[in-house]
Each structure stands twice: as C-alpha cells, then as structure tokens.
Amino acid sequence: MGYTDLLFDTSEHVATITLNRPDRLNAISGPMLDSLSQALIDADRDPEVRVIILTGAGKGFCAGLDLKEQASGAGLGGAAMGRFDLRSAPPIVLHNLDKPVVCALNGAAAGYGLDLALGCDLRIASDQAKLGAVFTKRGVLPESGGSWLLPRLVGWARACEIAFLGKVLSAQEALDLGLLNRVVPHEQCLAITREWASEIAANAPLAVQATKRVMRLGLEESFEANVHHVFLQLLPLFRTEDFTEGIRAYLEKRAPRFRGK
C-alpha cells in the first residue's frame, strides 16, 4: 500500500515507519496524518510484525503540525476540522496498538512531534535531539496525548513546569527527567534502536503484547482489577505453542524459537 510522506519497511519481524518530509523537518500535513494512522494499523495487524520503530528522515524527528498548512486554513483548525475523526488520529491509534513501538528520536521533536514521541513505548534519542513542549508559545495546548502522557511520565509539578513555560529540553535533560530510555551518539541512533527492537522481537510476541495490554490497563485501574486482567491474559498464554517452546528451550539450555502461536 502507498503512504503519503512516509516510508514503510519490514524486516526480521520489525516494521520501520519513517516520517519522510525532511525538507519540512517532517512537519505533519493532513494527508500525512491519515497515512501515519494507516501505517500503524497495518503494522499492528501484520502477523509477521512483532515490533514497530517510528523515526524521521533527515535532521529532525518531527517539527509538529505543518504551520504553513495551518495558516492557510487547510490544517486541523480550518474548514477540514468538522470532518476530522479523533478516533483515527495517530496519537489515539498509537496508544491502542498492542505491539511495542520504539521511537528512534533522530533529531528535534516539537509540538505534535513531541506528543508522537511520548506516545511510543520506548524512546532512544540521538545526543543531538531536542524535545520542544512549545504549545503555549503557539497559542495551543498539548493536543495529541501530551497532556495525558507528560504528567504520568514525569509527575505533575515537572509536567506543569515543562508545559506552562513551553520548555525545550536537550536530550540529556529529557533523559534525566525520565522522558527517554537512552541517549546515544547521533550516528548510532537508528542502529541501536534496531538492536532493541530485534531483542524484543526475539521474545514470545503474544506474551509481549499481553504484557503491554495489562500494563496499559493498569494505568487506570486498581491493583485488584489489574490482577484479574493479568490472570485472564495468562490463561490463554498457557495454551500457546510459544509457552511450550519457552519451557522446552529453558530445559534444553538453548535460545527459544517463538512463532507467535
């Protein structure tokens, strides 16, 4: 399938989605929004894909929504707004994916781009990356998941500091705050992200996806409710070929060969 301003590649159970408007620092246009949602859904539905990488082409990860498009009235705030369905917007699609999503933060992520990065499960950043929570400097708010994600990642007071001041964080500052998993040399960002994705993909995919589901549920429910959900996820896993393979591989002292069945 063709996507607008996106590159989509799959290899060894990993799908890599690359935002591909490098001349605009991968600023998000309307057609690109639709393509990104569809690419994420396609990767999540593909039985051969176990992990998704989200990254950007060129110098930046994503400069946010295309401000030129916004100024022309063709963006989210314009006439097209009445036809916009939030349920199919990339941040909501991203939040509901069962498969792990790893962000290779190859450069600046600002506004909408920051929300996209925060919506991923893991973030590996170039030492040249910057995270710009510049919403209040543009007359808007973190509209694409950031207002929900940021307080959960760094706590209320830190989230208020970042959002109200419209701060731009260096990669090291973001790492110190817990917004990133690792900061790596710029030229190694995608390679190290792929190493992490490959390591995740080598694990039992049904178990990884079940783990993500119950952790996500746990953000909004009591401990007791989460224990019940864990049990309901555990019972079918006991009946999978992968569970049998995991036990057999352990007893035979070898690496398991999981099939996602």
Q: What is the dihedral of CA 218, 222, 226, 229, to 10 degrees?
A: -110
Could you tell me what percentage of the chain is helix, strand and coil, using 3-state DSSP and rounding each to the nearest 5?
Answer: 50, 15, 35
CB 242 within 8 A of CB 204: yes
Domains and CATH numbers, the chain: 6-201 (3.90.226.10), 205-251 (1.10.12)
Cα–Cα distance, 16 to 244 (Å, whole number): 30
Q: Does 73 have pLDDT greater than 80?
A: no
Per-residue pLDDT reduced to its tens digit, 106-144: 999 999 999 999 999 999 999 999 999 998 888 888 878
Residue written as tokens 């992490």?
196
Q: Does 78 have pLDDT greater than 70?
A: no
- HSE-CB at 222 with a 13 A cutoff on CA atoms is 3
Output the CA angle 88-91-94, nearest 5 degrees.
90
Q: What is the mean pLDDT of residues 192-214?
A: 97
Cα–Cα distance, 13 to 51 (Å, whole number): 7
Per-residue pLDDT reduced to its tens digit, 15-34: 999 999 999 999 998 889 99
Which pLDDT score is estimated for 56? Answer: 97
Query: Which is more confidently placed, 90 or 221?
Result: 221
pLDDT averaged over every residue in the chain: 91
Phi and psi, residue 65, nearest 5°:
-65, 150
Q: Does 214 have pLDDT greater than 60?
A: yes
Q: How confident is the model at residue 79 (pLDDT cuts 50, 70, 90)?
A: very low
Q: What is the percentage of the chain residues whose pLDDT exceeds 70?
A: 92
Q: What is the mean pLDDT of residues 52-62?
A: 96
Q: How confident is the model at residue 1 (pLDDT cuts 50, 70, 90)?
A: low
Residues 6 or more apart whose Cβ sits within 8 Å of residue 167:
132, 133, 161
The CA R_g of the chain, rounded to the nearest whole Å, is 19
Query: Which is more confidently placed, 152 or 80?
Result: 152
Provide the pairing of β-strand 130-132 with 109-110: parallel
Q: For residue 241, what are the CA distances in angstroms to 32, 235, 237?
A: 39, 13, 9
Nearest partner of 37 among 79, 78, 73, 6, judged by Cα: 6
